[in-house]
Chains A and B, each alone.
Chain A
Amino acid sequence: MELLERFAAGDLDAFESLFRQYQGEVYRWVMRIVRDPAVAEDLTVEAFWRAHKAHAGFDPENNFRAWLRRIATNLALDHLRKQRLYVELPDDLAAEQKPDSAVQQQMRAVLRKAFAELPPRLRIVAQLGLVEDETYAEIAEALGISAGAVKLRMFRAVRVLRKKLQRLGVHA
């Protein structure tokens, strides 16, 4: 019996094999979105837990990796929604300490703030596409939307970002 068939049948050993095979990949993906190692670890475990809970509904002919990534992406998006109002990007991960002028440092801080304030569904696309350089197809698959919708959201994210910066008095 194939590994995915055993997983779908509820075999815990098969689940463990899949967990060990994909935990690093899921963690890296979630980390790119939430940028916090502790949160990324929690969300990775939660994603696998949800996958395990839904094992009976999984078709072994389908792509397990894509299915798992979509679960993890939705969890990360939920996390962005919850943290949106009061948390900025962690400084240690968001920006290296560069020997720049105070103006440049301030500009970066303003941009980070504006980025953190983006609506989560735009921010996740901007994060993955503009910052992490993921392809439209990859982002679309993870979010369960079309590549066209990804393009549209990215364009809107940049437009919102530009408006926010202009409102804050920063030329962009």
Chain B
Amino acid sequence: MLDYSQIQNEHLRELLIHSESINAQDEINAQAVINNIAALGPVQQQEVIQMLEEEQKQIQSSKIAKGITPDVEVAAIEKNRGKLTEIKHEYDTNVRKYEEGKTQKQDEAAAEDLLNQLNN
């Protein structure tokens, strides 16, 4: 996993995380590049930002060329998100039902006790 923590500029950090060119390098090289960028002064970092913004434009244009519009991307994310929600929901439901069952048993037991007490 690459460590971006030394990059202070949030925008730059975002761009680096999404840089395909850097991610295409092996991990050691990529990390070295990131470290080097972190050591740059603000003016040079600005140059890096410009370069990485250009790269993002290249990526965007390539995506559009492949028919991957933001819609398509959103759909892909949503599909996974939907699946995640479904799994989560199922888990929550199971847990809720289980806990409800447990509570219900406790309630019933408590009610039973109460009734017994009242009857007695």
Do these two chains interact? Answer: no
